[in-house]
Structure 1
C-alpha cells in the first residue's frame, strides 16, 4: 500500500457491498476495465479486489446474511486515521454516532463505522505501520 494512504484524513479505500457481486464485477470491468483478484473473507464469502494496471483500487463483496434485506447495494468509503479508537471516541463526543465499534480486520488494520450529526456514514481505518513495506 502506498504510504500516502497511511496519512491522517486521507480517503484510502472504497468498497461495494452488493446483492449480486458477479453482475457488479461485469459492470465495472466493462466501465473501468477493472480486473479482479479474489481473497477469502473471514467468516465466509469472497472479497473481490478491483485492479487497474496492477494497482488495487477498491473491493466488493456480496451482502452478508446478517445485513437487513432492505439495505440496497452501496459504496463504502474509508478514511485513514492515526488511531481509530481515539477517533471513534471523538466522533461520539462531538455529536456523532459510532455504528460499529473499532474492530480488527486481520491482515488489513482496525476500523469502525461512524455517522456524523447530519446522518452521513463513514468508515475509519488505521493500517499497520509496516503494511505494504
Structure 2
C-alpha cells in the first residue's frame, strides 16, 4: 500500500498560499463547505487546517503568502507537496533540468523540510521530506 507521507514521489499534502487569508477561508467554506480551523502559523503567518464534514482529519491547509513569494509578485495559488527522500537532491535534479527555485530549502518545525520550484513549463511544485 502506498504511504504518501513516506514514499518518494507521492503527493502528500495540498495548500493554498493566499494573499487574502480571510476571504479565501470564507470562499472555500461557502463554496465547498470546508471547515477551516486556524492554528498558529510560523513567522507571523496565518495558517488554517482544512477538513470536510466526513473527516475529522485535515487534508489540506491555507496560509498567508510567504514574504519571499509576495515580494516576487506571485499571485495566490494552490500548491501540491510531493514527498521526497532528499530536498537537496531533488532540487539539484530539478535545476539541472531547467527548474527555477522559488523557495529555497527550509525547515518547518515538527513537520519536516520543504522547498518549491517552477518547472521549465511554468508549473509550480513543492517538495517535502517529513520528519520521521
TM-score range, shorter chain: 0.7 to 0.9
RMSD: 2.1
Mark the runs of 5 or more structure 2 residues left unpaired by the alignment. Answer: none
Q: Answer with 75-84 or 2-11: which moved more.
A: 2-11
Counterpart among 54, 61, 64 of residue 62 in structure 1: 64
Counterpart among 85, 88, 98 of residue 85 in structure 1: 88
Mark the runs of 5 or more structure 1 residues left unpaired by the alignment. Answer: none
The residue aligned with 1:114 is 117
Query: Shift in Å at residue 3 of structure 1?
Result: 3.7
The residue aligned with 2:14 is 14
Query: Shift in Å at residue 97 of structure 1?
Result: 2.2
Normalising by structure 2, we get a TM-score of: 0.83
The reply on whether 1:105 has 2:108 as its aligned counterpart is yes
Distance 1:96 1:19, change over 3 A: closer
Normalising by structure 1, we get a TM-score of: 0.83
Number of positions where the alignment pairs a residue of Structure 1 with one of Structure 2: 128
